[in-house]
Structure 1
Amino acid sequence: MNILGLIVEYNPFHNGHLYHLTKSKEITGATHTIAIMSGNFLQRGEPALFDKYTRAEMAVKNGVDLVVELPTMFACQSAELFAQGAITTLNSLNCINSICFGSEEGDVEILYSISKILVNEPDEFKEIFKNYLDEGMLYPTARSLALFDYINNYNSLNISKEKLLSILNSSNNILGLEYIKCLLKLKSNIKPFTISRVSASYNSEEIKNDICSATAIRKSLKENNNLLLLKNVVPYNTYETLNSKLDNNFSPMFDDKYFEILRSIILRDSNILNTYFDVNEGIENKIYQNVFTSSCLNDLHISVKSKRYTLTKIKRTFNNILLGITKNDMSSVKNISQMPYVRILAFNDNGREIIKTIKNSSDINIINKFSKTSFSMDDTVFKTLINYDIKASNMYNLIYYKNNKELLKGPMDYYKSPTYIRTTK
C-alpha cells in the first residue's frame, strides 16, 4: 500500500483540486489517498462555505479515499502553525509514504533547500533575521527578508533574485516551505512532492475557464448565489452536492454573518481581549474603539488593518476572538510532535483499508463519534484540541442551521458520524 497525504480545505472541491489529486497520485504512484482537511473554520480566518461533513463527502465522491479533520486550533492560524498541525497529524499515523502540495514554484528541490535553512538556522541567517526583527518588522516579513539576504550572500542556490523574491512571497510556496520544514524537524520518513498550480492563482477572483480559484467560486456564490455560473469549474459530484444543500435550505457561509456575535464578544470581553491568541501590541484597544462605529465586519477589518497587520492577519485574529482561542491554550499545543487523535469525516472502501493500516501502525486515537472520546479527556493536549473542535462546530452551526433549526439537535459533533461512500464496482 502506497499512501499519499494531502493537506486541503476544499472550500469547495473544484476542478483545480481534481487536477491536483489526479496529478499527485500519478507522480507519487499512490494506491491510496488521505486528506487532512480543515473543519468549519479555515486558515484565512473565515468560516467554510459548507460544513466539514459536506466538504469531506464531496472529496470522497471525487476520488479521495479518506478525509480526516485538521484540529481547529491549527486550521485557523498562520502558515507555520497550519503546516505544523497538518504534517504532525500525517506523521503521527506512521503509514504515510508521501505528501504532494500545489505551489507556484513547482520544484520541490528548491523549496527543500530553502526549508533546510529555516531548520538549521545558520549563524549568518539568525543575525540578519534578528536585525530585521529589531527594526520592528513582523516575524513573517523579517524572516522572508532574512532568507532573501542570506541566500543571495551566503548560499549557492542557482536562482535569480527575481525568482527567489517570487518564491518567498507566494502563498502556496510559503505553505510548502512550512510543510517541508516540519517534515525535517520531525525527522519524518514522508517524502514531499509538489506540482505547479495551473490556470488560476490562489487569490484570483475571476472565472475565465474550467479551472479557477476557490476564491473566485466563493465570490461568485456570495454575489450571485447561482450555482449555474459554477457548473463548468467544479466536478459534477461537487455541483450535485452543493445543489442538494441549497435545495435543503442550507446557505453558503461567509464571515460577515458572524458580525453581531463577534461584536458582542468584543464588548463583553473588552478587558481580556489581549488574552486571545494573536491579539498583541495593544491592537485590542483599536478593536474595542472601532467596534462601536463599524456597521459591518468589513468595516471593522479595515478600521483595524495597518501596515503591520495584513487583512488576513486581522481576520485570523478576529476568528481567534470568535472561537475563544487563548494564548495560554495555544501555547500548550503548538509545539506538540505527536497528534493525540485523528477525527474521521468521510471514507470509501480504500479509506477503510487506510484506517486498518493506521490501527496497526500507530497508537493514535481514531475518533468516529465524539461520544466515545471521554477515555482520553485526562490528556491535557487531547482535551484542549477536542474542546475547540466542538466549540468551533457549535459556533458555526449556530448560523449554518438558521434555516433548519429543527435539525440542530445539540452539539452536532456528538450526533454526526463519518460518511461512508461505497466504492462502485
Structure 2
Amino acid sequence: MTNNQKDSGVSDTMNVTGIIAEYNPFHNGHAFHIEETRKNTDADYCIAVISGSFVQRGAPALVNKYDRTKMALEHGIDLVIELPVIAATSSAETFAQGGVCLLDSLGVVSHISFGAEANTTSDIDMLDKLADFFAFEPPAFQKYLDLELKSGCSFPAARAKAAVLCLQQMAFDSMNTDTVAQLERLLASPNNILAIEYMKAIRRQNLKLTPSVVTRNGAGYHDTDTDTELASASALRKFIFQDNSCQKADSKVLNQMLTRTVPDSVRELLLNAYKTHAFLQEDDFSDLLYYELRRNFLRSASSDPDTECSDLEKRIANNLETFTCWSDFVSDLKTKNQTYTAISRHLLHAFLGIDAELLAAAKNCHYAPYARILGFRKDASPLLKELQEHSQIPLLRKIAKERQSLTPEQQNLLDLDVYATDLYNRILFSKTGIQRKNEYRQPLIIL
C-alpha cells in the first residue's frame, strides 16, 4: 500500500487519530493514553485497532474481545476494529505493520498515537532516528546481528546490541557514552520497540500517518507492581493468575487492587469474570495444543523423511512425549536465542493452523485485508459515514452477509479469525458453561 493507491487522502472534514492496542485488560494507563491522545492530536474521533481472541505474546486474551471493546468505548474510544489474528499474534514488526496499514487503509486517519518510555524531546528524537535506522538497515547491521545471536543472545537483545554497535560505527566511534546509554535504555523497553516498529512501518510503506508519542507514566511493561494507580496490564494478569490459578487471588483483595488500577466499569466487568471463572490463559488450551502438535507430528512423519525441519520443530517433536501443559512445554523449549513469547507464538500459529498459504495471503495485503468493526459509539455516526466513503479495504459489520463480497484470500483470512474465536469460545464454555454467540450472530457493541 502506498500513497499512490490513496484517493484524495485523509478526510479534511474531521480529525481522526488511531491507536493500536490489546487492552488486555483495559486499565488506568490506557485511559490516560486516550485522554492525552485527544489533547495532543486535537482528535474529533479516536479509532482503536485491537487484538481479538489471542494476543501478541502468544496467548489467549484475558477476557473476550467484545468485553474489551466495551471497555474501550466506555473510556474515550469511538470505534473499535479487530486486528486480524495473524498480525495480532506475530512479532512486533508484523503486529505494528498490520495495525498501521489497517489504520492507513481506512482513508480518514491522520495521526497514530502510541505510548513510549521517552521522557524528553531528545528521547523522542532518538526513537525517530532508530525508526529510520531499522527501516533502512545498513548491510553491517546483519553482520553484527548474526554475531550477537551466535554469542547466545535472544533476538531482541541481539538486535539492540547490533543496532548500537552499528550506529557507533556509522558515527566513526565518536558517539559519547551518554548517547550509547540512551540508545541502550530506549531499546530495552518493549513499548519503545513497538513505537519504533510503528514509525518504521510508516516509513517503509510510505504512509500519511503522523506519529504522536505519549510518554508512559507509572509501571513499565514488565513491572509486576500493582500498588499504583498506573499498573501495567501484565502486572494485573500476574496478580489475577497467582500460582497459575485465577482462583488463588482472594476476591476482596482483587477488588481492592482493581479499584486502584482500573476504571469502575472495567472493575465490575473483571470481577464478574472472576466470579464466573471466565479468565482464560494459555494452559486452558493445553489439550487442544497437544492434539494439534501430535497431529502435525504424525503428518510430517508420514511425509518426505528428507524434509528439513527447524531446530525448534525438532525440539517440539523430541519433547512432545513429556508434554504436560502449554506453559511448561514452552519453558522446556526455551533457549538462549528464543524467548518464551516467540516460542508461544510459534505454538499458537500451529494450534490455529496458520500455514504458509495463509501467511502469504496476509503478507500480500500488508496484514490488513479488511476492517472488521467490533463496536462503536452512536455519536460516531459521522465517522462511520466517512469510513464508508474513504476506506480502501472492505468494512465488515455483518460478516454473514458481507463475507461473500470478499476475495477468496480475504475469505480465508476472515475464516481464520472466526475459527480463532470459535476455539476461544469453546474453551470458555468448557471451563465456565458460558455460551457465547458465534461470530456470524454476535451483534456489534454499540453504546
With normalisation by structure 1, the TM-score equals 0.90
Q: How does 1:19-418 map to 2 (within 5 A)?
A: 19-106=32-119, 107-125=123-141, 128-129=144-145, 140-155=156-171, 160-223=179-242, 224=249, 226=251, 227-228=254-255, 229-246=257-274, 249=276, 251-272=278-299, 281-337=310-366, 339-380=368-409, 382-402=410-430, 405=433, 407-408=435-436, 412-418=438-444
Report if the CA contact (8 A) 1:266-1:273 is conserved.
no
Point out the more displaced range, 167-176 or 114-123.
Answer: 114-123
Change (3 A) 1:234 1:139: closer
**Post-superposition CA distance 1:342-367 (Å, at most 9, x none):** 11111113432222111111232111
CA distance, structure 2, for counterparts of residue 186 and residue 326 of structure 1: 25
Number of positions where the alignment pairs a residue of Structure 1 with one of Structure 2: 414
Cα displacement (A) at 1:384: 2.9
How far apart are the structure 2 equivalents of 1:78 and 1:293? Answer: 28
- Decide whether aligned partners of structure 1 residues 212 and 406 sit closer, same or farther in structure 2, where only a CA change above 3 A counts: closer
**Kept in 2: contact 1:45–1:316 (CA 8 A):** yes
Alpha-carbon distance in 1 for matches of 2:226, 2:432: 31
Q: Displacement of 1:297 after TM fit?
A: 2.4
1: CA distance between counterparts of 2:180 and 2:201? 26
**TM-score normalised over the length of structure 2:** 0.86
**In 1, distance between residues paired with 2:439 and 2:24?**
20
Unaligned runs of 5+ in 2: 1-13, 243-248
Contact residue 36 and residue 86 of structure 1 kept, 8 A: yes
Instruction: Give the stretch that moved more between structures: 315-324 or 396-405.
Output: 396-405
User: What is the rounded CA distance, in whole Å, between the counterparts of 1:338 and 1:213 in structure 2?
Assistant: 27
Closer, same or farther: CA 221–140 of 1 in aligned 2, 3 Å: closer
Q: Letter of the 1:360 partner, please give it.
A: E
Could you give the per-residue CA deviations for residues 45-64 of structure 1, whole angstroms, max 9, x where no partner exists?
A: 01011100010011101111
How many Å apart are 1:312 and its aligned residue? 1.1
**Partner letter of residue 383 of structure 1?**
Q
3-state SS of paired residue (1:231): helix
**Deviations for 1:301-341, whole angstroms, at most 9, x for unmatched residues?**
11111112111111111111211111332133225347331
Query: 2:25, 2:139 → 1: CA distance?
Result: 43
Alpha-carbon distance change, 406 to 90 in structure 1, aligned in 2, over 3 angstroms: closer
Instruction: Report the CA distance between 1:138 and its aligned residue.
Output: 6.6
Distance 1:31 1:273, change over 3 A: farther
Using the alignment, how far apart are the partners of 1:4 and 1:196 within structure 2? 17
Tell me the SS of whatever aligns to 2:54.
Answer: coil
How far 1:120 sits from its partner (Å)? 2.5
Letter in 2 for 1:344: I
Contact 2:117/2:192, CA 8 A, preserved across alignment: yes
1:419 maps to which residue? Answer: 445
Secondary structure of 2:430's match? coil
Please identify, of 30-39 and 109-118, the stretch whose mean Cα deviation from structure 2 is larger. 109-118
Is the Cα–Cα contact under 8 Å of residues 40 and 47 in structure 1 kept in the other structure?
yes
* Contact 1:250 1:401 (8 Å CA) reproduced: no
Give, as a single letter, the amino acid of the residue that structure 2 aligns with 1:329. L
